[in-house]
Amino acid sequence: MKIKEFIVVEGKDDTTTIKRAVDADTIETNGSAINEDTIEKIKRAQKTRGVIIFTDPDYPGEKIRKTISERVPGCKHAFLPKENAIAKNGKGLGVEHASLEAIQNALKDAQIMSDSIKEEITQEDLIIAGLIGGAGSKERRIMLGKLLKIGYTNGKQLYKRLMMFQISRQEFAEALAAVIQEENNE
């Protein structure tokens, strides 16, 4: 599988794993303190071939994603569910621990977050759906994030990410119905 865009990853181990999974070029941030040279490299990459941000599903990974998104608009985002990023020995979390298939699927599903936020889904909808502030809300957000391919979020981030990815009310309702169905089957 050939990827035209540059893939932004956190480090060398991520690059090694990505290159085993797909034919692509990477840019490494070397941690969450992204320097100006790296930002400029990402800006140039975005202008020439496009960029997919593919960071670890943890707090530092989200911090890197947010920093790049703010400084380099129009990047695509690929998300890896946490359970697909856990080391076999259980002592690590990151892109470098994911299977080649999980990486390929995440990259195939990469999407652009929009700056123009149109509100179709409200905070109240999220509360009523049991996605914020209730028992089991975290588990529901995890399942919803997987189904919509927007990654895991806390309650506050969920609302923003739904808006940024311009998830329609219908798409949200269908995913939520699938989450509820899954809960009922357990």
Are 56 and 85 members of one domain?
A: yes
Are 127 and 103 members of one domain?
A: no
Domain that holds residue 146: 123-185
Residue 71 lies in a domain: yes
Tell me the average confidence (pLDDT) per consecutive run of 10 residues in the chain, 186 residues long: 94 95 95 89 95 93 91 92 87 91 92 68 89 90 91 87 86 92 84
pTM above 0.85, yes or no: no
CATH number of the CATH domain containing 25: 3.40.50.140
What's residue 114's pLDDT? 66
What's residue 156's pLDDT? 83
Rounded to the nearest 10 degrees, the angle between the axes of helix 59-71 and helix 36-48 is: 60
Residue 117 lies in a domain: no
What's residue 68's pLDDT? 94
What's residue 116's pLDDT? 57
What's residue 115's pLDDT? 60
